[in-house]
Every structure is written in structure tokens, then in C-alpha cells.
A = this chain, B = another copy of it.
């Protein structure tokens, strides 16, 4: 019996990670290409996959905003984005044309939530949220095996949050909302406030506690909206030593014991580590078959 071959794409703002896999424990090849202009990037991606032969299905876990409605003529297109040249780019179309196979598309964070719920830290949970804290803040969710989608996909970085009492003067960096979660707690928000990243701050600096407090506010809101069994925190900012534990602690305090899930059990690190992105693409490819 011939084994199934999947093409995997984790499409990000600075790089595309590509992979060939037969299953979650059989990612047989992978590569990174820089995100340049759309034509070049897509051509490089198609060339890489073409060199590996036929594919049975492709999974595309993409930065957003991306059209996810299968009934829309823009399905699989990048929507209006500040990223120069990328607004309106058809990412999924060239893939399905070149390889004549089904293509599963979702956001990178929805795909990561799906991979974590299937093979990682969210196994056995009916509702799993994946939050990434880095250059931006993004969130995805899986409910009973399906990724979350309303009119479009979640934009959890843009939820509203109270203001930390010792952070009254910072306006926030979100070009749309100023002091939404992403505006206050993303990597660029830290840089704009303190001139350096969280892990570069001197010991005793209040910055880390303030960012942990904002992320804990987000945890409470996510619990109030979805009561997920797991809230998985990934992304570069979360590599700051001690930050993860501080978010758990603050969320415990803020929740006041109200929600069913205890923050110390609900808030976890990715079970798949750095692999949740590419395995997210695998989950999408499997779902497309």
C-alpha cells in the first residue's frame, strides 16, 4: 500500500517553512525560504515541492488575514495586510493548480491549536486555545476537532484589556486599537516602552510583571468566553525566563477561583514545541483529504 504524502507550509511574515510528511512522526524533509515579494516566494515554494514529486494533499497554515470561507472566490487569498505587496495574494490557488490535490487552509494559530489538540498538549480536550506572543499576538482555537471561524478567523491579539496601574502613560502600539492586548503586551510594545526586550531588562525591572499581568487578563477573558481545557502559550516573548510561571500566577489571582479550569493546569506550554506550526499544516492537509 502506497503511503500518503503531504506537503506542508507554515507561511509567516518573515519566512515560509516547508515540509514533506507521511504523518506526525514522519516529517521526512523540511526547508525554510525567506518571505520576499509574493511572486518570488510562491515560485520558490512551488519549485521546492516540485522537486519532491507528487503530493496527495497540502496543508497551508498561513499568517493572516486570510480568507477561509470555502464559498468565497477569494478563498485562500491573503486579505488586506500592511505587509507590502501581499494584499490580495492568492496563496492556495497556485498550490492546488500545480499539484492537482486538495489544499487545506487555515491561520497559523488555528493550525497550531489543531496540531496541539491532536498530538500535543491539548489531547483529550474538547476546547483548546493556542496563543502566540511575539512580534504580534495571535490566537487560534479548536472546539471538538474544528478550528474556530466566524465571519473570518479569530484575532485574539485585539481583545481589550484593563490598564496596569503602573502603566498609565503608555499609549500602546496597535495601529488599529492602540492599547488592545497586542498593543500592550507584544514584543514591539515592550520595545517601545522599555527600549529592549523583556529578557534584556535588568533584574527587578517591573516590565516583566506588567506584561505577565496583561497576558493573565487575556487568560481570564479567554476562559470567560470559551473555558478551554488548555490555553497553550507559544511565541518568542514566552521564552523570557520566568514569564510563563508569572502568567499562571497572575491568572490564578485574577480569576478569583471562578472558572472551572485552574490556571496551573489550563495554562501550558506547547507539547509539540517548535513543531506545532508545521504539524498544524499537516493536520490541515489530513483534513483536506
Contacts and interface: CB of A to CB of B under 8 A. Distances in A.
Interface stretch (A4-12, A158-166, A193-201, A271-279): A158-166
Nearest to A179: B162
Contacts of A157: 224
A62 interface: no
A259 B225 CA distance: 18
B151 A261 contact: yes
Nearest to A69: B126
A226 interface: yes
B221 A177 contact: no
Interface string A207-234: 0000000000110111111111100000
14 contacts: A126-B150, A127-B149, A127-B150, A139-B225, A151-B260, A151-B261, A152-B227, A152-B259, A154-B225, A159-B221, A160-B161, A160-B162, A221-B225, A225-B225
Interface residue range, chain A: 35 or more
Interface string A3-38: 000000000000000000000000000000000000
Interface stretch (A48-56, A93-101, A237-245, A250-258): A250-258
